[in-house]
Amino acid sequence: MSSALRHRVATARFDIVAAAVGLLIALALFPLRFFASQIYIRTIPIVLGSSCIIYLLATYRSSPRIQELPTLSKGFRRALPSLVFLCLAVLVALAVQDGQRSPRFLVVAGLTGTLIFLQIAFVRSEGFNRTRVLVQIVALAAVVRFAALYTTPGLIGIDIWTHITGLAGDVFAAESLEAISDNKHYTSPLYHLLVVATALLGDVSLRLGLYLSLGVVMPVSVLLVFASANLLVDERWAAFAAMLYSVGDYVIEWGIHLIPTSMGLVLFLGLCYWLVRTMRTGQDRVALSFMFVLSVAIILTHQVSSFITLVMLGGAFLAYLFMGLDVFRPSILDPDVFRINQPVNIAGLIAFDLGFSTFLWSMTPYKGETFLLTLLSYLRQTLISSAGVLNLAGPSSADGAAPEGADPTLIDVLVPYIDTLGFLLLLFGTFLGCLYVVNRTRARQSTFTLLFSAAIMLVFVLGLPMFGIRSFIPQRWFAFLYLPLVLLTVIGLRHLELSLNRRIVVVVLLLFAAAFPTVMMVSANGTVDNPVFEGQGAQLAYNQQELAAVDTIGRITGSPDSANILPEQLLYTDHPYQTVLNRNGAYPSRTAGINGTDPVDHEMVVYRQEQARDTTFFESSQGFGVSRDVNESAVCRPEMAVVYTNDEVRMCTQPPAATT
């Protein structure tokens, strides 16, 4: 490279170049909205273009004088914490009165989040009270999550029934891991051991043991986000990051659907804190020890979390390589050149994690093979059968859909945008943060780690699914992805506060404060226990009558194994109710098939009133899941005999005389 070219590269404004390129990419991607209806294809180009334009405005209109944003009046600032705790009391009362997290509960929760955001965004740093705000953040997170756990008679979610009533129940009864030796969690049992140990020590049920251990840790874990962010920005913006993370929809989901993903997420937050701390302050034995211990704990907890952790560590290693390039080496003219630490090489930690994970996965039983071979086989089959440009691999919660046969209403059109608005706001802030950190004079390994990790994770959660590849279970990644997103977001917003016209900054911050907590609270993934809008997805929580029916069906049938019954003896009902019957061990069940307006054609069926009043899914004649409101006569046909019934659920079978 010639000296002239080297000088040009060394003095180039990479952030300006990246903003211009990002704007061109946004313009190039914009026409895709006319060829594909997927919500992210329609919205991400707009978000990317907007963030690039605002960053360029902040760059070219920045003033050497530090501007001050409008601040709350002293009286209002003092009253806000009291208002927040009053709202929290109202939330508790609403949860008890309604017996669920009702729409009005979620609206008040969103308003409470707005009040906390206002205390963070519109106050001077010297007047910011860290402890007071963090207490409010943790309190809101706890109330939102425990309101769902307290008002739900059973468990929330699908996989949780396998983990608690199945695997943890077997370990609890046998007092040994040998009870699950044929399951893939035999080599990743920390979650089940935690639940069983808490239940034994507290002399409580497994459900309460789960809530008293992992359920309590989940809302408190947002403090790890604050600690990580505080290594990058001041306390006020670190609290902003913690607040963003605490009300994230997927973070809320794993706070109420408490499965190994939840525990893996907590350990991941801890590992990322020590990783960022090491890069900011330099290597020390304590930090490295914590990273090794947490890495092992993640591997022994959850396979998907382990893979995501490897992605984060891979991003850190890429950042190490980039920081070694001449163009990113600090100049003696940089104001903080003497405070910059040498990049941290974590190749050893990556090699250890990769080797240990491969070793465990190669001996983990899964569907007759090892987990590693099965995973590679799934990926190969997906690449052969499903991959294709804009092949969205089936519907997702982000797409939104009206029940089959119904014309979409205005709400049906708006729901997908409500579900994704919070994520899009995070992407907007992330793009700003990425543009800020790629400036050569601001390049740090810690921020480049966040940039590379976020980029790689976005490929897995958004990029690969567009080609039909969902073998990596992208839904599980979002809560992990939110960590680098919120950290980059506060870096970007802090830059706007210092550089952009204050009127624009106020509008951006008010948009985050007013919209983000509410849309995240009412989104599909934030309300799996009680969806707000029809079409957001099925309710993954069940009332007392529905759970009583599951227990009774198991007792009257003897809970046979699927290998011991004939195919025509399978029980058919809606999804997700069939998952509870299966995973609770009550009776082998499948999703009922439905063909147009014809009645369900199965010999053993279960009808519940939820099928007529809310979103439930059936299998269409083409083999796809469809949302359909059905009445009782379409499932329990008139000629069928009623075997069991209560106020909500009815089990029917074809009489022997009617069987041909």
Give buried/exposed letters for 256-267 (b at 16+ CB in 10 A, else e): bbbbbbbbbbbb
| pLDDT greater at residue 298 or residue 366 | 298
Q: Predicted confidence band at 400 (pLDDT cuts at 50, 70, 90)?
A: very low
Helix (H, G, I), strand (E, B) or coil at 370: strand
Cβ(201)–Cβ(172) below 8 Å = no
Q: Which CA distances in Å does 659 have to 455, 602, 604?
A: 58, 11, 12
> pLDDT by residue (tens digit) across 230-257?
999 999 999 999 999 999 999 999 999 9
pLDDT at 436: 94
Q: Which two tokens stand for residue 245?
A: 């993370």
Peptide bond into 576 cis (omega under 30): yes
Point out the least confidently predicted range of 90-94, 336-340, 428-432, 642-646.
336-340
pLDDT at 69: 80
Phi/psi region, residue 623 (left: phi>0; alpha: psi -120 to 50; beta: rest), is: left
Q: Which CA distances in Å does 224 have to 110, 300, 483?
A: 22, 21, 10
pLDDT at 217: 97
Residue 193 has pLDDT above 50, yes or no: yes
> pLDDT by residue (tens digit) across 33-74?
888 778 898 999 999 999 999 999 988 865 545 567 888 888
| pLDDT greater at residue 323 or residue 425 | 425
pLDDT at 337: 41
pLDDT at 397: 40
Q: Predicted confidence band at 407 (pLDDT cuts at 50, 70, 90)?
A: low
- What pTM was computed for the model? 0.93
Mean pLDDT to the nearest integer, 597-614: 88
Q: Which CA distances in Å does 35 have to 29, 31, 390, 429, 469?
A: 11, 8, 9, 27, 20
> DSSP per residue over 409-427, as a string?
-HHHHHHHHHHHHHHHHHH
Calculate ∠ Cα 235-240-242, nearest 5°. 90
pLDDT at 72: 85
